[in-house]
């Protein structure tokens, strides 16, 4: 799948402020803090997998999804995702937040690649991010995701890795970033990828995402799954935030 990106997505953004260029598997994604226009995206990539990733199904149906509930330790009011583009290799998603004017702004578009085990993968200069789809309801209007943020931090990553036992070092070492999807790597707090790339795992958390038309509802199947997941031992002491507030219902109409 990684090779698909080399012929895949180029996102060009029109900005009113500072630009930051991020390398994503050989293609340049221009990230901005102002308005963005997708000028060129190649749809020529063909998916080699015969089974469609369920994230693809979700984003084919929904243009926006809001974080109705989350165990993320960072609270961002009105946080959610807007679909900017989709093809068979992945999606470009912008994230939202309520700004000081009381308006919901969507910004920071990033490419998320469809990967195995119903997952999404985003490769950025400061980290690698993996989302697993735990559940999507039959109507494809809500989903429960599990997020693994891996941060590029050579000093912290190396220090943490060197403190592991020899057995743990072997378990928490991989040849490439593809090893982030190995079951035995999910429990690692620090990983050595290749010979000299150290990454540190951030807080793993769950999101309950709902589509625009489902924000006033509480989908029973997604709610039930989220409740079960947030009671896991690793999540029990985490907050249970509800980022989608009354303000978002009014503010989102002027986006």
Six-digit token string for 236: 């029990």
Residue 8 inside a domain? The answer is no
Reported confidence tier of residue 5, pLDDT bands at 50, 70, 90 = very low
Alpha carbons 109 and 54: distance in angstroms, whole number? 21
Q: What are the pLDDT digits (tens) for 175-184?
A: 999 999 998 8
Query: pLDDT at position 218, please?
Result: 80
User: Residue holding tokens 């150290």?
Assistant: 198
Report the alpha-carbon distance of residue 93 to residue 112 in Å, rounded.
7
Helix (H) or strand (E) segment spanning residue 95: strand 90-98
Region 143-151: what's the mean pLDDT?
Answer: 97
188, 199 in Cβ contact below 8 A? no
- Does a structural domain hold residue 67? yes
How much is the pLDDT for 252? 61
What's the confidence (pLDDT) of residue 21?
A: 36
Task: Please compute the mean of the pLDDT values over residues 107-135 and round it to a whole number.
Answer: 95
Beta-bridged to residue 124, according to DSSP, are: 127
* pLDDT, mean of residues 55-78: 96
Provide the CATH number for the domain around residue 72.
Answer: 2.40.128.20
Examine residue 43 and state whether it is found in any structural domain, yes or no: no
Question: How many other C-beta atoms are found inside a 10 Å radius of the C-beta of residue 117?
Answer: 10
Q: Are strands 173-174 and 205-211 parallel, antiparallel or unpaired?
A: unpaired
The reply to whether 64 falls in a domain is yes
Q: How far apart are CA 242 and CA 76, in angstroms?
A: 9
Q: How many helices (H) and strands (E) does the chain have?
A: 5, 13
Q: What is the pLDDT of residue 215?
A: 81
| pLDDT for the residue numbered 27 | 36
CA distance 57 to 47: 14
pLDDT band at 167 (very low <50, low <70, confident <90, very high): very high
Domain count for the chain, please give it: 1
pTM of the predicted protein model: 0.80
On whether residue 171 sits in a domain, the answer given is yes
Share of the chain above pLDDT 70, in %: 78
3 pLDDT higher than 90: no
What's the confidence (pLDDT) of residue 243?
A: 96
User: Is residue 49 one of the residues assigned to a domain?
Assistant: no
The most confident of 14-23, 41-50, 172-181, by mean pLDDT = 172-181
* Dihedral angle of Cα 150, 156, 158, 163, to the nearest 10 degrees: -110
Q: Is there a domain that residue 19 lies in?
A: no
pLDDT over 70 at 137, yes or no? yes
Residue 93: domain span: 54-253
**So what's the pLDDT on residue 217?**
79
28 CB contacts (<8 Å, ≥6 apart)? 10, 21, 22
Average pLDDT, the chain: 82
In a domain, 10, yes or no: no
More confident residue, 58 or 8: 58
């Amino acid at each position: 799948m990684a090779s698909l990106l080399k012929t895949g997505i180029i996102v060009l953004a029109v900005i009113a402020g500072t630009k930051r260029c991020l390398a994503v598997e050989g293609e340049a994604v221009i990230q901005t803090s102002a308005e963005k226009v997708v000028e060129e995206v190649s749809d020529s990539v063909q998916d080699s997998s015969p089974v469609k990733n369920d994230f693809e199904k979700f984003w084919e149906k929904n243009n926006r999804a809001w974080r109705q509930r989350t165990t993320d330790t960072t609270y961002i009011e009105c946080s959610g995702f807007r679909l900017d583009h989709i093809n068979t290799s992945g999606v470009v998603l912008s994230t939202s937040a309520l700004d000081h004017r009381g308006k919901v702004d969507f910004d920071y578009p990033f490419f998320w690649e469809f990967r195995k085990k119903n997952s999404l993968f985003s490769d950025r200069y400061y980290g690698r991010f993996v989302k697993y789809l735990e559940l999507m309801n039959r109507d494809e209007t809500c989903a429960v995701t599990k997020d693994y943020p891996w941060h590029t931090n050579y000093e912290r990553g190396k220090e943490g890795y060197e403190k592991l036992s020899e057995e743990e070092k072997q378990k928490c070492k991989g040849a490439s970033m593809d090893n982030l999807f190995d079951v035995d790597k999910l429990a690692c707090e620090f990983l050595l990828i290749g010979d000299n790339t150290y990454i540190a795992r951030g807080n793993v958390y769950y999101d309950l995402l709902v589509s625009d038309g489902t924000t006033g509802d509480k989908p029973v199947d997604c709610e039930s799954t989220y409740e079960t997941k947030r009671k896991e031992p690793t999540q029990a002491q985490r907050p249970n935030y509800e980022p989608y507030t009354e303000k978002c219902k009014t503010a989102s109409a002027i986006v």
